[in-house]
Amino acid sequence: MSTTPVFPTASLLGYPRIGRRRELKKAIEAFWSGSIDEAALDTAAKEIQLVTARRLSDLGLNEDAAIPGTFSYYDQVLDVSTHIGAVPSRFGDLRNAAGELDINAYFTLARGTAEVQPLEMTKWFDTNYHFLVPEIGPETNFSLTSKRIVEQFEFAKANGFVTRPYLVGPVTYLLLSKASLDAPAGFSPLSRLEDILPVYAELLAALAAAGATWVQLDEPALVADQQVDVAVIQNAVARSYEVLTAGKRPAILVSTPFGALNELLPTLAASSIDALHVDAFKGAVPSADELALLAGKTVVAGVVDGHNIWRNDLAASAARLDAFKAAGLSVAVSTSTSTQHVPYDVEQESQLSPQLRSWLAFADQKAAEVVTLAAYLADPASAAHAIAEATAVIASRAAAPGVNRPAVRARLAALTTADFNRSAYEVREAAQEEALALPPLPTTTIGSFPQTSEIRSARARANKGTITGAEYGQLMKAEIKRVVDLQEDIGFDVLVHGEPERNDMVQYFAENLEGFSVTVHGWVQSYGSRCTRPSILWGDVTREAPITVEWARYAQSLTDKPMKGMLTGPVTILAWSFVRDDQPLGETANQVGLALRDEIADLEAAGIKIIQVDEPALRELLPLRHADQASYLDWSVNSFRLATAGAGDATSIHTHLCYSEFGVIIDAIDGLDADVTSIEAARSRMEVVNDLETHGFGRGVGPGVYDIHSPRVPGQGEVTELLGTAVKHVPVRQLWVNPDCGLKTRGYAETEKSLRNLVNATKEVRAQLLTSSVD
């Protein structure tokens, strides 16, 4: 490169892409169902990109390359896979006549087909966003198989916006990959670095030719401790950016959201990249010595939190920017992470109190904050008024009613060790066996059944007031009866009520507890076309009345089989809400734990013998640095135990986790002390049973045998095979049979078939076990 263009003084690391009214979700779901064609999908996607560019430009991000090119049809990691040709062999050749992986190939990788399992999905760092895990082996044949991001850049440019194309960087891409099924044992995807770099380089050259001035290579894996030795990663980073800076290319920004770079900062500083983003919100301002290494590069200071929704403490951010400036560096302002993790715009939430709204910043407000702070850098006086206002608002929050409830705090202060412990497992196991009398390999589901359009429309009508609360209650009861009858018919051993009354497993509790508020338009992408609407936990938490008890009591009245009560655990309630940042998370978690403890006591009193407390997010909040993990696991496990330890010996406490890298936190899962734990396992083909075996996990466990994230129906033979693997590693007396997760996102057609296969496969395996024990 001859002269490096100036990096925009104000920019965002990334922006939501699902559409302000979830237009992308609607368009891709319509495309999948065949009701619109590819051209219409393309039009909808372009419209979202244009609306974003116009909006961000209006908010003041109007320098070249300030607008992040972070639009994606489904996932940013899948985007790389489809650009560099990383297709697992089970898909066959997905390239079209032009040799490209087009949109159909793209969605095939994401969603699978009747015959082929899709790519596995896992969480993106410590967020609730899921990416599609690349599968890389010695056989993966890398080449440039798509130019979609170049075309997206050209489209924006033709409309007057020079955006900053975004790619997950090569080191992060390979560190997030898993070895393909064809790879030999011990194969490391990182060993293919030399083979993907030329493809990245080709893409960068194409972007430069299209007129891109800057490109962003996102390397969040560099702030997380990895299994691989740090020296290996340092070499990979040095090599990558040696190769990528050598050819024809735009200026390169490497972004490192989610924490501090530590040992990798000097490596990036020594490379020829043009700008380095550091997360100075969750991470820290690098030391003076580290900053000195960055001389000659632009430092993009991520001082505005991209991951939570609180209004920025502009005075604190200004002080951080001063520290960068004092080192004599060229400084630009940005967010700590992409704002894809927060909703679009607080101003859309007119139902929230003006007071609460004044405490919040969604993506658009964050853009404005970044612009204010960039103005501060140029002329501190120009931002004085905005900084004073932010300081005053933050002070008013601390004093607002409900933020601090003395009764809640007194109850927490009075807790003793006994409040966190149940009887020994053997005692509970005996009491529960007698109370429940279940067959071997008991079958159950994870809680929710498909949320039909009738259910959604009933809820919408109840919210609008066109039906009464009582009418809504009747409709939900009719649905519960239908779901109970269906489970009886299929032959399940432990039933659920199906959760029709819950719009969302966290929001439902948020709506019924004090201390939370909910949004109307605050959707955040969770994976693909799926969005969640996190609640806002802003005050001390209390439960004013029982929440789930009447539904559970009704469901149990319909059957002689045990009905599982269904609650969401404290860690998950925190993880999937936007949580107050003014006290330690452990304190907030214990407040929620106490509310759930009271609910469990009420469920027991109503005759419910099995109570599941879901903690699917336990893994998600695990800190990215080993040094921070012990204290996290301590408070998170304790809050679950506080919620559940009041249950009697004969009450079976279940928990549900939905991820499959189980090994990392198996001690913590053990520490939850649940009687039965169900876990996701189908997509990763039962890998977790190895961890269970190695660990010697001693209580009940249900590794999922039905991947509910995809519409495909697992055949009875497939389920039998998975169970066959499970019984080889886990004692039969501990094993439960269940799907990977709840069924709410599925349709009835595939769900019913799959569940019948699951129950019939279990019967088959039970019979096999009987004959083999007779032999």
User: Do residues 315 and 391 lie in contact, with contact meaning Cβ atoms separated by under 8 Å?
Assistant: yes
Asked if 571 interacts with ligand MET (CB under 6 A), we say no
Asked if 702 interacts with ligand MET (CB under 6 A), we say no
* Binding string, residues 401-440; x marks residues near ligand MET by CB under 6 A: ----------------------------------------
User: Do residues 716 and 764 lie in contact, with contact meaning Cβ atoms separated by under 8 Å?
Assistant: yes
Least gap, CB of 458 to Zn ion (angstroms): 24
Query: 């399992």: which residue's tokens?
Result: 117
Least gap, CB of 761 to ligand MET (angstroms): 20
Member of 367, 594, 658, 758 binding ligand MET (CB under 6 A): 658
Site residues (CB under 6 A) for ligand MET, limited to 357-386? none
Asked if 569 interacts with Zn ion (CB under 5 A), we say no
Asked if 656 interacts with ligand MET (CB under 6 A), we say yes
- Catalytic annotation, pick one of 130, 341, 654, 709: 709
156 binds, among Zn ion, ligand MET, none (CB under 5 to 8 A by kind): none
Asked if 704 interacts with Zn ion (CB under 5 A), we say no
- Measured between alpha carbons, how far apart are the two ends of the chain, in Å? 75
What is the DSSP-derived secondary structure letter of residue 184?
A: P
Alpha helix (H) ranges present in 253-335?
264-270, 288-293, 314-326
Q: Which has the closest alpha carbon to 656: 719, 705, 710, 701?
A: 701
Mark the segment that binds ligand MET (CB under 6 A) among 19-27, 343-351, 444-452, 699-707: 444-452
**In the complex with ligand MET, which residue's Cβ is closer, 189 or 616?**
616
Asked if 169 interacts with ligand MET (CB under 6 A), we say no
752 binds, among ligand MET, Zn ion, none (CB under 5 to 8 A by kind): none
Mark the segment that binds ligand MET (CB under 6 A) among 156-164, 352-360, 441-449, 689-697: 441-449
CA 618 – CA 525 distance, rounded (Å): 19
Asked if 616 interacts with ligand MET (CB under 6 A), we say yes
Q: CB under 8 Å to 669, separation ≥6 — which residues?
A: 618, 657, 662, 677, 697
Q: CB under 8 Å to 351, separation ≥6 — which residues?
A: 520
Mark the segment that binds Zn ion (CB under 5 A) among 32-40, 180-188, 222-230, 740-748: 740-748
CA 95 – CA 38 distance, rounded (Å): 17
User: Do residues 154 and 89 lie in contact, with contact meaning Cβ atoms separated by under 8 Å?
Assistant: no
Member of 66, 174, 293, 446 binding ligand MET (CB under 6 A): 446
Site residues (CB under 6 A) for ligand MET, limited to 286-345? none
3-class DSSP state for residue 51? helix
Other CB atoms within a 10 A radius of the CB of residue 648 amount to: 15
Other CB atoms within a 10 A radius of the CB of residue 557 amount to: 12
User: Do residues 137 and 179 lie in contact, with contact meaning Cβ atoms separated by under 8 Å?
Assistant: yes
* Binding string, residues 497-526; x marks residues near ligand MET by CB under 6 A: --------x---------------------
* Binding string, residues 645-674; x marks residues near Zn ion by CB under 5 A: -------------x----------------
DSSP class per residue in 426-448: HHHHHHHHHHH-PPSS-B---SB
User: Do residues 7 and 65 lie in contact, with contact meaning Cβ atoms separated by under 8 Å?
Assistant: yes
Q: CB under 8 Å to 206, separation ≥6 — which residues?
A: 144, 147, 150
Asked if 741 interacts with Zn ion (CB under 5 A), we say yes
Amino acid at 655: T
**In the complex with ligand MET, which residue's Cβ is closer, 124 or 161?**
124
Asked if 616 interacts with Zn ion (CB under 5 A), we say yes
Residue 301: strand pairing partners: 278, 333
Q: Give the per-residue SS3 of 476-545.
A: HHHHHHHHHHHHHHHCCCCECCECCCCCCCCHHHHHHCEEEECCCCCCEEEECCEEECCEEEEEEEECCC
- Element of type H or E holding 700: strand 700-703
Member of 305, 501, 614, 752 binding ligand MET (CB under 6 A): 614
Residues touching ligand MET, count (CB under 6 A): 12
3-class DSSP state for residue 300? strand
Asked if 655 interacts with ligand MET (CB under 6 A), we say no
| Tokens describing residue 380 | 């501190």
Site residues (CB under 6 A) for ligand MET, limited to 728-747? 741-742, 744
Member of 447, 534, 569, 702 binding ligand MET (CB under 6 A): 447
* 695 noted as active-site residue: no
**In the complex with ligand MET, which residue's Cβ is closer, 293 or 741?**
741
**In the complex with ligand MET, which residue's Cβ is closer, 102 or 504?**
504
Mark the segment that binds ligand MET (CB under 6 A) among 50-58, 133-141, 443-451, 527-535: 443-451
CA 217 – CA 168 distance, rounded (Å): 6
**In the complex with ligand MET, which residue's Cβ is closer, 621 or 765?**
621
**In the complex with ligand MET, which residue's Cβ is closer, 340 or 612?**
612
397 binds, among ligand MET, Zn ion, none (CB under 5 to 8 A by kind): none
505 binds, among ligand MET, Zn ion, none (CB under 5 to 8 A by kind): ligand MET
Any idea which residues carry the catalytic annotation? 709
By CB under 5 A, name the binding residues for Zn ion: 616, 658, 741
By CB under 6 A, name the binding residues for ligand MET: 446-448, 505, 566, 614, 616, 656, 658, 741-742, 744
